Amino acid sequence: MRKIIVAGLHHESNTFNPIITGINDFSILRGNEIIDSLNAQDSISGIIRTFRENGNYEVVPLLMARAVPNGVIEKELYNNLKKELLELMMVFKEQNEVAAVTLSLHGSMRIQEIGEAEGDFLESVRKIFPDIPIVASLDMHAAVTERMLKNCNAFVGYKQAPHTDCFETGAHAARLTMRTLETGCRLKTGFCRVPVLIAGEQSETSVEPMFSMIEALREMEKRDKVLAASFLLGFPWADSSENSVCALTVTEDAGNLASETARELGTLFWENRKEFKFHTLTREPGEALKMALGSKGRPIYLSDSGDNPTAGSSGDCTNFLKMILTEPEAVNLDPPLLYAGIYDPSAVEASINKINEDIELEIGASFDKKTSTPLCLKGYVKSVFRAYGHFRTDIVLFHTGGIDLILTGKHIGFTETEMFDALNVDYRVRKIIVVKLGYLTASHKKAASSSIMALTDGSSNEKLAGLPYKLIDRPIFPLDPEMEMEFTSE
């Protein structure tokens, strides 16, 4: 049986967020822990299950590290993870037993003082295995670089946003690996850079123009010798020179087919660049709150989109919370407005053992001290849940100023209504629920009678032209709206 090394590194790094992501922010699985955690939702599970179902391959799982999007990753942490992985790979290299390496990567992981992680990591892997296939799955929001392309035989990215096809993309990466091993065909990657920045909230794949463009990818994959086609959208909240949309294809080596098909897809994306827009009702913060208060139905969801942890923001900005607390109608709702939430380890620690006690807390702006300031709030703790979720964080429901505010001890996404259940909150009867998200996740969308996205402040500010980019290659749309397209493809 052919041995396939499998490993993964997943993090979406927001360079505008001052937090340095460390070991406590990561979930790390090693060896058989990865096998024990296989599911139907992530790409590494798709990779492993596809190889195992084939029956001719022995999967060697090394390490899977992932964290909620956040600031750039601590240099020492990355170097330790990289060193561990490379040393494990060397063991199998010396035994001359490895047929291929198939990886589950994000594509927008950035390291303190180093920069891009994926190019750096793949370059090191290629030095160990200069002659065997290396294939990787990528998040749709990957920023593909020359180092990545030079050191990996093939990439395939998610086709759905929100990302509901992670497992399928991992399976696709495994099939690409098997194709080259079993047929001897050489995988060739075509790449076309498209100078566009686009927020995820403008590129949902259930609506136009992305719906049709994803269909174009699927049609492209039906062509002879075209094995994969992807749009990688980059990550707009990372200030890096390589950040942009790209079209990427993988073909069996056939002349210029890879570069021609990539350029065809890149042209399609460029021609549709002005069609991207918010599909959620979107308003400035004050107007969004006013509309929610005047709306019928329960619950009305408000997205605090500028401080969205799942887009890498700090999760501790207080400006929208401050506005709500000064609006008489908002603080006199029955049951109270629910706000999810604020990442503040100190506030959680100070309140965790004080259920029903009157306390005063300084809340927020523990990390992002530029966007907002802390709030001194009096209130009482209504409920506590210890070790919530995958990242095992303590969460607190704090009643203050007429609202219910969720506090978290770790940087996590406010993505599931399970958090409300854990804190004994009947969210279905609330008039207004505020979540630090952009578009709603499936769990919240199911609960919402309607939703409004507030264009709030933070490291995931949806108004990209207002972000302080310094390194990104210019011109780029929409920062330079009148620019002409100059293709970079290979």
Phi, psi dihedrals of residue 46, rounded to the nearest 5°: -65, -40
User: Whose structure tokens read 């279905």?
Assistant: 428
Q: Residue ranges per domain, the chain?
A: 2-275, 282-461
Q: What is the pLDDT, as a whole number, of residue 245? A: 97
CATH class of 2-275: alpha beta
Q: What is the pLDDT, as a whole number, of residue 487? A: 60
Q: What is the pLDDT, as a whole number, of residue 122? A: 98
DSSP class of 121: H
Q: What is the pLDDT, as a whole number, of residue 484? A: 87
Beta-carbon neighbour count of residue 271 at 10 Å?
Answer: 11
Q: What is the pLDDT, as a whole number, of residue 43? A: 98
Beta-carbon neighbour count of residue 488 at 10 Å?
Answer: 14
CA distance 155 to 168: 14
Say what the pTM is.
0.94
Q: CA-based angle 404:405:407, to the nearest 5?
A: 145
Q: Are 116 and 110 in contact (CB under 8 A)?
A: yes
Q: What is the pLDDT, as a whole number, of residue 254? A: 81
**Distance (Å) of CA 483 to CA 24, 169, 477, 478, 486:** 43, 34, 7, 9, 9
Q: Are 117 and 111 in contact (CB under 8 A)?
A: yes
CA distance 123 to 396: 44
Positions of the chain with pLDDT lower than 70, given as ranges = 486-490
Q: What does the pLDDT look like over 431-464, one tens digit per residue? A: 999 999 999 999 999 999 999 999 999 999 999 9
CA distance 350 to 54: 53
What order do you get walking across the sheet with 134-138 strand by strand? 26-30, 57-67, 2-10, 98-105, 134-138, 154-157
Q: At what angle do helices 75-94 and 117-128 cross, to 10 degrees?
A: 20
Q: What does the pLDDT look like over 262-290, one tens digit per residue? A: 999 999 999 999 999 998 899 999 999 99
Q: What is the pLDDT, as a whole number, of residue 376? A: 98
332: exposed, middle or buried (C-beta count within 10 Å: 0-12, 13-18, 19+)? exposed
Q: What is the pLDDT, as a whole number, of residue 257? A: 96
